[in-house]
Structures are given as C-alpha cells and as structure tokens.
Amino acid sequence: MVKKTLRQINREEEDARIDWGIIFCVLVLAVIGLASIYVALRHDTSTVSIVRTMLSQFVWYVIGTVAVIFLMQFDAEQLWKIAPIAYGLGIFLLIAVLIFYSRSYFVQTGAKSWFAIGPFTFQPSEVMKPAYILMMGRIISQHNAEYYEHTTRSDWYLLGKMFLWTLPVAVLLKLQNDFGTMLVFFAILAGMILVSGITWKIIVPVGTIGVVLGSTAIFLAVYARGILEKIGFHTYQFERIDAWLNPSGSTDNKSYQLYRSIQAIGSGKLFGKGFNVSNVYVPVRESDMIFSVIGENFGFIGCCVLIFIYLLLIFQMIQVTFDTKNEFYAYISTGVIMMILFHVFENIGMGIGLLPLTGIPLPFVSQGGSALIGNMIGIGLLMSMRYHNKSDMFSTNENFR
C-alpha cells in the first residue's frame, strides 16, 4: 500500500473544507440563467446585442466567483473586524447614489438607486445586503455576549439596537424610491430576530403589528389611496397593486407585464414547448420575469426542478449553519439564507401573480451584475464558514471585541 504524501493529505483536507454541494447548486443555476437569458434575448424585439449581453453576464459570473474565493480566505475574527467598515462603506454608497444616480434609469424605473458610468451600471443596495448581514451578526453576537441571560428588558434593548442600525438603510432606500429592496432588508432583519434569542413574548406582538400594518397598507392602496399618497407612496406602487389584484384588467400599465408572464408560464403546460421556443412576449423577461422563460420552455416540470435546486441550495446552507460552532457565523448564515429565500419567493411569486410586482431578480438566474455580485458575496460568506469551521464557541469572544 502506497503511503500518501503530505501534499496529497493537505489537498484532501482542503477539499473536505470546501462545500461542493453549494458550488454545484450555484453552477447549475448559473447554467439555467445563461440559457434562459439567451432565450429571452433571442426572441426579444429590442435591438440589444445578444453576444454583448451574454458576455457581460458571463463576466459578472467570473467576478462573482473571484469574490467567493476572496471571501473564503476570511475567518470569523476577520469578518468580525470588517463588519462595521463594510456597513459604513455601504451607507456611504447609498448616500452617494442619491447624488450621482443614473438619470436614464430614474426615468425608466422611478428609482434613484443606480450608478452609471458609460455602459457600466451598479446598484449599491445589492452589496449593502451582505454588509448589513455582517453588521447585524456582530450586533447580536456582541449583545448576547454582554447579556448572557436573556431578560425581557435586554431583549427589548437588542431589538432596539437592531432597528436602530436598520433605520439608516430604510431611510436611504425610501429616498431612492426602492421599496422592493427595502423589503429584502426587512426579511433579513425578521429572520435574524427569530434566531437572536429574543423571547416570543416580544416577537409575537411585534410580528402581529407588522402584519396589521402591511394588511392596512394594502387595504388603503385599494380603497383610500389618498392617505398613502400623503405619506410618500407613488403612482407606480399603486399600479403594481392593481396589476397584482387584476392582471388582465388593462394592457396600458404594469398589468400587461404580469398578464403576459402568467400566459407564458401557462402556455408551457406540463413539459414546456422546448428550449429556445417563445411564442408569448413578456416585457423585461431577461431580468425580473426570467421565470416566465423557464415556465414556457420547460413547463411545470422544469419549474419544479428549478425550485428543487433552490431548496437543495437552502438545505446545504442550513447544514453549514448547524455544522458551525460559531455563533457569529450562525447569524451570518441566517441572514444570507433569508436574503436568497426571500428573493426566490418574491420573484417566483410575482411571476405567477401570487405576489405584487417589486422588481426583485431571481438569484443567480436573472440578468444583472449588481444582484449577482451581492448573492455571490453571500455564498462566499457561507463558503468561508465551512472553510474555517473551528471548534471554539463564539460565547468566548473576547478576542473579537
């Protein structure tokens, strides 16, 4: 029997620290994304260059892969230290985009959330998401280290700190008119509150208030829009509510996009029409409505396969969360899972008419570099957990303060 060399042993140990299950899921989603974007562009009536767009999307995948490899080199102590720096840089970018936003994108979307330098565009709120997750993980971990025994008073204090650090992000996104992205941050916040150790005596009433406020907002959007207009709601947001409630009601507003998406998905039936077949035109289907391409080409079975891949990815992430013995890592993982899960749920939900249109892309599948980089950074943080999985508990975190 030939003995293994030290280099072979080290290589095997390093391979064991890499989560190949997550890599496989992301790779499959990337292939599905590139294929779906090609189909959408191939049958689009616009003058967009297919080759240039596909090459651009591929370059974004490469940049995202480099970001994952780079982040894998950071352990818990290093992530702990850079969390406030990343958060501060993210806030700075959210402020800067209010001044230097793309005028053309503002005309198209009504949101001041994009930088544009020539053909290059960038949405800073997408990379703010993982920065926000890091900061929330640090805040919760530090609080639980200081208040080892949870009391109602200390839990209210923690909840207040979490809302306080969320407030600047929410205000800046409101100024950008980017309500959809704001919902993602609220979903991340909700998930991290659930695992933070805060008592249910606080979570239940706070959650109930949130549900009541959301339901009231929808009611007012239908029957008393004047009230919402006075507090800052815009016409395009009401159009999305109308499209959600009555997608076939009009072809002159947002209803048209949703109605055509439902038509495309329904026309695929059980097995779909086949790859690169598109008989139903859906506006902007290469990004927000990419799920309609998958539904039309591969039918109900193809949609189920895609959802299964996402479930497999989420399962791998949850497994990493349970395997890590580091509390700070666990909170980061929760934030990343909530970010991706909400994106999937909202994008597919709005594509089939289950939820209102919000302009949220499908992770790793929709066209767009900013969202892809943000999600890849999240994957990098998860990969870092597996790569630097240590036996020490974060409760002994004196070295991280």
Query: pLDDT for 216-266, tens place per residue?
Result: 888 887 777 788 777 777 776 777 777 777 776 655 556 788 888 999 999
> Which of 74, 77, 73, 75 lies closest to 399 in space, CA to CA?
77
Q: What is the pLDDT of residue 285?
A: 87
Give yes or no for a contact between 244 and 356, defined as CB atoms under 8 angstroms apart.
Answer: yes
Residue 269 sits at φ, ψ, to 5 deg, of 55, -135
Q: What is the pLDDT of residue 253?
A: 57
Q: What is the pLDDT of residue 378?
A: 95
Cα–Cα distance for residue pair 257/99, rounded to 1 Å: 31
Domain ranges in the chain are 20-400
Return the axis-axis angle of helices 327-351 and 290-323, rounded to nearest 10°.
160
Give yes or no for a contact between 291 and 265, defined as CB atoms under 8 angstroms apart.
Answer: yes
| Amino acid occupying residue 329 | Y
Give yes or no for a contact between 133 and 212, defined as CB atoms under 8 angstroms apart.
Answer: no
Q: Report how far apart, in Å, the C-alpha atoms of 119 and of each of 24, 52, 116, 283, 371 are.
A: 31, 11, 7, 21, 17
Q: What is the pLDDT of residue 16?
A: 60
Q: What is the pLDDT of residue 147?
A: 87
> Which of 309, 298, 305, 307 lies closest to 276 in space, CA to CA?
298
| Tens digit of pLDDT at every position of the chain (401 positions) | 445 665 655 555 555 678 889 999 999 999 999 999 999 988 875 666 888 889 999 999 999 999 999 999 998 899 999 999 999 999 999 999 999 888 887 877 778 888 887 777 889 999 999 999 999 999 999 999 988 888 889 999 999 999 999 999 999 999 998 888 999 999 999 999 999 989 999 999 988 998 898 888 888 877 777 887 777 777 767 777 777 777 766 555 567 888 889 999 999 999 999 998 888 888 888 888 999 999 999 999 999 999 999 999 999 999 888 888 788 999 999 999 999 999 999 999 998 988 888 888 999 999 988 999 999 999 999 999 888 875 444 444 444 44
Cα–Cα distance for residue pair 163/167, rounded to 1 Å: 6
Q: Residue 399 carries which DSSP code?
A: G
Q: What residue spans of 43-123 are helical by DSSP H?
A: 50-71, 76-99, 103-109
Q: What is the pLDDT of residue 14?
A: 54
Q: What is the pLDDT of residue 241?
A: 76
Give yes or no for a contact between 288 and 280, defined as CB atoms under 8 angstroms apart.
Answer: no
> Which of 114, 79, 110 lies closest to 94 in space, CA to CA?
114
